[in-house]
Amino acid sequence: MDYDVIVIGGGIGGASLGAILATAGKKVLVLEREKVLAGRMTDISFKGHTINAGGHFLGEPDDIIGKIYEYAGIKLEYTSEIGESPIYRDGKWSLAREFFKMDKEEYKKVIRAINQTSFEELAGYDDVPLRTWLQKHTRDPGTIAMFENICRGEFLMDDWYNFSAGETLIVRKMYFQRWRRPVTALWPTCGLKGTVENLMNVVNTRNGEVITDARVVDLIVENGSVRGVKAVTRANDPGEDYPEPEEFRSNSVVSTVPVWALSDFIPRETVPSSTMERIRFLSRIENRILIMGFYAATNKPVYAMDEKGVHLWDHGERTGCPGYAYLQSAFDPSISPEGENLLVAGGFIDGAYFNPSRNAIEKLLGNFVSEVEDMLPELKDHTLWRNRHLYDYNLASKPGFTGKGRLPNKIPGLENLYLCGDGIQARGVGTDRAARGSLACAEMVLNGPIPFFEGIYRG
């Protein structure tokens, strides 16, 4: 066999997995469809600014990405944590601590309940709304609203009954254990794309290979076991509609692609039809969250109350969507030219209510820009340029779609194939969830736990 392990996908999931396996002595090949690495953590240069085309911060409940770096012999450094969140309601901003008016004793009671409940028991509440669980422990409306607000900002859900208790409480427990607070997020000095590239360098320098512009189109399956992949690479793509794919052979293949990209290469004739149905169901736009938004370069820092706060609102006055805005250049001034600043704003769209027609999207984005300008009026006079977007964020973390509601790391009928990435069964938030899933999958490939990661909850 050419490689010990083939990893499909070059985002943080693929990079984490590749770095762990390469450090454990495996010869790894990473295949990434795009010309650049980092997937939803990539960035682009625009008019002198570095724009994160996807992810914004590292939500690091128990520092899994930092630990993977340490295992691989490199160091992840952060500039600073996010500040206090200003919350917008009824025409004004208030800092979170004033806005929620929590009863401190009630808040502490809830923290104790979370800390005293095991991860496994919390996972049992995956299909229960967070409010139902909270009401068993407190009747304080401020405490309930505060925990729901964190869940909204973290999993980008809108209505209270869509907040999965298990999903958010597991993450809260990790945060309380590691940081002694319910939530935080960090900005890595190397940027988000750099965070992925450093891990890919580990693969490259430890006997492995990372190939970009290599789209996996099929799996090589022999007697029910995966023996490699077929990929269209830059080298074998002469620009035809249907170029001949190249074969890469290995006895272990791990996919880290989003669930909606799986059917591009999983051969439907080799997996049970119920699994194919599940992949198709989870991939439906109704089950996903999208992020609309814009980046705005400004000639003065525009923010309300805290320069490093992630500004949040639960109901945009023109779109009806929850959203956020923050001053990216406050975390890392080097991403913007001298004298300019970069503001990032996003609104969450539940795919169930998404209208994909061009007119509807235009109208939605227009309304979104206006509602953010209503909330941060200085934007109107100080914007130099604006760049609007609409991205796929992730599978919704609603009851029924978390934990066992997602695809498992191994699907029946295909030996030697493993699945991870942030849309597969794993715990955590965004990048953290993807990396944690990679650790779980790496240990499956290695046939046992890696002692260095003892104490980390895999989910």
Ligand X SMILES: Cc1cc2nc3c(=O)[nH]c(=O)nc-3n(C[C@H](O)[C@H](O)[C@H](O)COP(=O)(O)OP(=O)(O)OC[C@H]3O[C@@H](n4cnc5c(N)ncnc54)[C@H](O)[C@@H]3O)c2cc1C
The yes or no reply on residue 257 touching ligand X (CB under 6 A) is yes
The yes or no reply on residue 343 touching ligand X (CB under 6 A) is no
CB of residue 434 to ligand X, shortest distance in Å: 3
The yes or no reply on residue 67 touching ligand X (CB under 6 A) is no
Instruction: Give the one residue of 4, 6, 7, 9 binding ligand X; rule: CB under 6 A.
Output: 9
52 is written with which tokens?
């994160």
CB of residue 30 to ligand X, shortest distance in Å: 9
CB of residue 180 to ligand X, shortest distance in Å: 20
Closest CA to 50 of 340, 335, 338: 335
Closest CA to 110 of 131, 80, 84: 131
Q: Phi and psi of 54, rounded to 5°?
A: -145, -110
Instruction: Give the one residue of 19, 23, 28, 32 binding ligand X; rule: CB under 6 A.
Output: 32
Stretch that binds ligand X, among 117-125, 129-137, 276-284, 429-437 (CB under 6 A): 429-437
Stretch that binds ligand X, among 36-44, 163-171, 220-228, 352-360 (CB under 6 A): 36-44
The yes or no reply on residue 188 touching ligand X (CB under 6 A) is no
Q: Mind spelling out the 3-state secondary structure of 101-125?
A: CCCHHHHHHHHHHHHHCCHHHHHCC
Instruction: Give the one residue of 7, 8, 396, 440 binding ligand X; rule: CB under 6 A.
Output: 8
The yes or no reply on residue 406 touching ligand X (CB under 6 A) is no
Contact 6, 229 (CB under 8 A): yes
Instruction: Give the one residue of 4, 14, 187, 340 binding ligand X; rule: CB under 6 A.
Output: 14
Q: Which residues pair with 216 in a beta bridge?
A: 231
Burial class (CB in 10 A: 0-12, 13-18, 19+), 360: exposed
The yes or no reply on residue 10 touching ligand X (CB under 6 A) is yes
Calculate the dihedral angle through the C-alpha atoms of 203, 205, 209, 212, rounding to the nearest 10 degrees: 80
The yes or no reply on residue 431 touching ligand X (CB under 6 A) is yes
Hey, which residues between 353 and 392 contact ligand X (CB under 6 A)?
A: 391
Q: Which is nearer to ligand X, 102 or 221 (CB)?
A: 221
Closest CA to 254 of 15, 63, 428, 459: 15
Burial class (CB in 10 A: 0-12, 13-18, 19+), 242: exposed
The yes or no reply on residue 56 touching ligand X (CB under 6 A) is yes
CB of residue 290 to ligand X, shortest distance in Å: 9
**How far is 169 from 10, CA to CA, in rounded Å?**
29
Q: Which is nearer to ligand X, 165 or 171 (CB)?
A: 171
Stretch that binds ligand X, among 56-64, 276-284, 351-359, 401-409 (CB under 6 A): 56-64
The yes or no reply on residue 432 touching ligand X (CB under 6 A) is yes
Burial class (CB in 10 A: 0-12, 13-18, 19+), 90: exposed
Size of interface with ligand X, in residues (CB under 6 A): 40
Hey, which residues between 196 and 255 contact ligand X (CB under 6 A)?
A: 215-216
Name the E strands within 246-327: 246-249, 253-255, 288-298, 311-313, 323-327
**How far is 96 from 281, CA to CA, in rounded Å?**
37
Task: Please give the residue ranges that form the binding site for ligand X (CB under 6 A).
Answer: 8-14, 31-34, 39-41, 54-59, 215-216, 256-258, 261, 264-265, 291, 346, 391, 393-394, 421-422, 429-432, 434
